[in-house]
Structure 1
Amino acid sequence: MDLRLTDKKVLITGSTSGIGFEIAKRFLEEGASVTINGRSDDNLQNALDRLKESFPDSSVNGIVADFRNPKAHESVIKLLPEVDILINNVGIYASKTFDETSDQDWEEMFQVNVMAAIRLSRHYLPQMKKTGWGRILFVSSECAQLVPEDLIAYSTTKAALLALSRGLAQTTKGTEVTVNAIIPGSTLTEGAKIFLQQQAEKENKSPGKISEEFFQEARPSSLLQRFAEPKEVADMALFLSSPLSAATNGAAIKVDGGSIPGIF
């Protein structure tokens, strides 16, 4: 299927690994012009090298920006004043109890997970409306609805993105601009692989056994009963970013393997 993304200018925050990196790969496969983002030169260059090796004839660039800095968006906008598609993917988390989560933890997660998306959307959305077409996509999380006890702050930020996405979508009425969110479930990113390996070594079990027990104990509601592959999440992101998705606006689309119970 041709997603009609050739030459579309795309910015993906937090995209040197995991879901963001896979989204970048899929856009390049579709012929888009992609700018990825990381918070360190080394990580960014490593990701760029990998993408250029896989897609030698594609247009791919990178911008270093650490969104813990409230001014980080300014350097992004200066280097990339216009985009057709904005993927607000960057996110951090801290696995702590509510009592252990400090004000600094809360503020840092809101700065990166929410305020970065707000600041970039505030710049690019009016430009998209003016040019007559655009896509903004927020990458939320199943934690926005499941809310694990050790991820309350992270879950709160991811729930905020759902409200932000819906609110911005309502400002696009009658245009060719859409704003949506995706809600990934447990995904086999590099971080997840490290977690599985560390737990396997700690408990003297195989990573496969740890994964099986995770879905039995922590995600028993999952219908998929396995970690999703990053590409499976990226494929949904690509469709929602394409001209083919014009009738989908203000939506929060689950890519969670059925882990969130209910029909809404």
Structure 2
Amino acid sequence: MKIDFEGRTAIVTGSSAGIGLAIVEGLAASGARVVLNGRSQASTDAALVAVAAVLPHADLVGFAGDLGSAEGCAALVAAHPRCDILVNNLGIYGPQDFFETPDAEWTRFFEINVMSGVRLTRAYLPGMEQQRWGRVVFISSESALNIPADMIHYGFTKTAMLSIARGLAKRMAGTGVTVNSVLPGPTLSDGMAEMLKAEVESSGRTIEAVAADFVLANRPSSIIRRAATVEEVANLVVYASSPQASATTGAALRVDGGVVDSI
């Protein structure tokens, strides 16, 4: 199978590091023109340099801006009005007990994790429908199904993505536009690496080994018994964005290492 995005423009939100950056690389390697997004100009520029070092001929452009607000989303659409492939990857997470999570934190998570995708999808879907081709992918999480007791406010936002993507897939029925969710499990992203840094330094073990222990301790239902790589997650996103995935829509596609205990 050869995936070819020649002539297609992709936008990946929250893509200056981690899973988002791996998605940028995967789409660019397959010929897409990719808009890379970071919150600051410095992080955006650094990510562009990092991708160019791996893919020197990639067609990349950066957009620095906070997409967790209506104004930020509007600025992106104004700067880049065309989008064939939209990957709603932007998201935040962090543990906090339900009884200690104030209204403002619920609202912050909702605005960034959910409404960024709602606003951008609402802006770009009409153009996709008009050209009779388009792809929208929401990056959800296995936490959408396995709601973490210590991150209920986070799990709720990831569950919301599943509802939105499924409903939008029905709304775009027969248009040639597909809308799907991708559900990563524990992934060895920059965030996880930073969280485990102290253990790696004190133990002298590799980050992969420490991450595997973390997965087994916190997600014992994992079948692969390790953290996924960001590239493994990106591979599924690239496929879901491809012409070859034309019959896949309204789906919650798991790349969770078998964490979710379901047939």
Q: TM-score range by the shorter chain?
A: over 0.9
Task: After superposition, give the CA deviation of every residue in 1:159-210 in whole Å (9 maximum; x if it has no partner).
Answer: 0000000000001111211000000000010111111123455x75745554
Q: Would you say the 8 A contact 1:128–1:177 is kept in 2?
A: yes
Give aligned pairs, total: 262
* Structure 1 partner of 2:228: 228
2:39 maps to what in 1? 39
Could you say which residue in structure 2 is the equivalent of 1:247?
A: 247
Distance 1:35 1:248 in 2: 24
Taking the aligned partners of 1:51 and 1:2, their CA distance within structure 2 comes to 21
Match of 2:52 in 1: 52
User: 1:126 Cα shift?
Assistant: 1.2
TM normalised by structure 1 equals: 0.95
User: Greater shift after overlay, 67-76 or 113-122?
Assistant: 67-76
User: Contact 1:8–1:33 at 8 Å: present in 2 too?
Assistant: yes
Divergent runs of 4+, >3 A: 203-210
Q: Does 1:218 align with 2:218?
A: yes
Secondary structure of the structure 2 residue equivalent to 1:62: strand
More displaced stretch, 126-135 vs 49-58: 49-58
The one-letter amino acid paired with 1:115 is: M
Q: RMSD of aligned C-alpha atoms?
A: 1.5
State the one-letter code of the partner of 1:218.
N
Match of residue 193 from structure 1: 193
CA deviations on 1:199-244 (whole Å, 9 max, x unpaired) are 455x757455543432332111000100001110111000110000
> CA 1:147–1:58 in structure 2 vs 1: closer, same or farther (change >3 Å)?
same
Instruction: Return the alpha-carbon distance in structure 2 between the equivalents of residues 216 and 58 of structure 1.
Output: 37
Distance in 2, Cα, partners of 1:204 & 1:133? 51
1:12-91 pair list within 5 angstroms: 12-91=12-91
Q: Distance in 1 between matches of 2:216 and 2:58?
A: 42
Which segments of 5 or more consecutive residues in structure 2 lack a partner in the other structure?
A: none
Query: What is the TM-score of this pair, normalised by structure 2?
Result: 0.95
CA contact (8 A) 1:94 1:105 kept: no
Q: Conserved in 2, the CA contact under 8 Å of 1:121 and 1:136? A: yes
Q: After superposition, what is the alpha-carbon deviation per residue over 1:3-31, rounded to whole angstroms, capped at 9, x for unaligned?
A: 12122100000000011100100111111
Rounded Cα–Cα distance in structure 1 between residues aligned with 2:92 and 2:102: 15
The residue that corresponds to 1:147 in the other structure is: 147
- Find the residue that maps to 1:235 and give its secondary structure: helix
Superposition deviation, residue 82 in structure 1: 1.2
